[in-house]
Amino acid sequence: MPNTDERVVRGFGDEWSWFDQTGMPPDELERIFNSYFALFPWDALPRNAEGFDLGCGSGRWAKLVAPRVGRLHCVDPSAALDIARRNLAAFDNCEFHRAGVDAIPVDDDSMDFGYSLGVLHHVPDTQAGINACVRKLKVGAPFLVYLYYNFDNRPGWFRFVWRLSDYVRRAICRSPRPVRYTSSQLIALFVYFPLARLARVLESAGVDVRNAPLTAYRDRSFYAMRTDALDRFGTRLERRFSRRQIQTMMESAGLERVQCSVGEPFWCAIGYRRR
């Protein structure tokens, strides 16, 4: 049985057609990219390294990875792959594959690196998805993953607020496309934007805002908020994991030297394929 949910795949095709990331300020994109790839061992990659971006979406991360490597396989099961082709047209070292995580069209044991950011918490079996990615790696090759966290490092009141928001998500994500889009954009305007900007003001006044809701968006553009609000409230299938669970899944998949991020985004983790 395929490790994909067709409704989720169609939803992401919609998302990246609505937000193809051409409206993202380049400096902001690079700043976010650096936060996700903070653990990635660029200097340890072989010359002309070949790797894969599993769930490439619009190609926003591939756009910054491609200039640093020899060949990049961009893999996505949705119509977003056409967006990625357009956004990455300037690079001749990108190959595009419309496929899911259980059918990555590269040989096992062949890749020098791989990454999957914000994808494997949207598949029916996250562990199987990590396993499939790791099988494609050479021994010693790094795999970087970002999975939604279950607020294991947050206070109880924060988790309670999230649970309330999740009831809203469950209602919106099952709605027709126009309702999903409109609802998410209203949430971006009336929830994300004011709370994020309030966090920025409070931080500038010396207040500790680490546990404030949506504080991660305090320096983000409204475009980023609109994109992520649709991603968060418009997606039907969502799984969340603790830092320990992520480490266990990665080790079970055959990775060693697993390391999780110490700051946002939670949780980014990297591991290296063991023998």
For 137-173, what is each residue's pLDDT tens digit? 999 999 999 999 999 999 999 999 999 999 999 999 9
pTM of the model: 0.94
Q: Which domain holds residue 193?
A: 156-234
Q: Express each pLDDT in 75-86 by its tens digit.
A: 999 999 999 999
User: pLDDT digit string (tens) for 185-226?
Assistant: 999 999 999 999 999 999 999 999 999 999 999 999 999 999
> The CATH number of the domain where 73 resides is what?
3.40.50.150
What is the domain count for the chain? Answer: 2
Same domain, 195 and 248: no
Residues 69 and 26 both lie in one domain? yes
**What is residue 5's predicted lDDT score, i.e. its pLDDT?**
87
CA distance 189 to 195: 10
CA distance 211 to 199: 10
Considering the domain architecture, whether residues 102 and 224 belong to the same structural domain is answered as no
Q: How confident is the model at residue 2 (pLDDT cuts 50, 70, 90)?
A: confident
229: helix, coil or strand? helix
CA distance 174 to 13: 16
Please list, residue by residue across 182-219, b when 16 or more beta carbons sit within 10 angstroms of its beta carbon and e when fewer do. ebbbebbeebbbebbebbbeebeeeeebeebbbbbbbe
Together in a domain, 173 and 244: no
Shared-domain flag, residues 52 and 114: yes
The verdict on residue 162 lying in a domain is yes
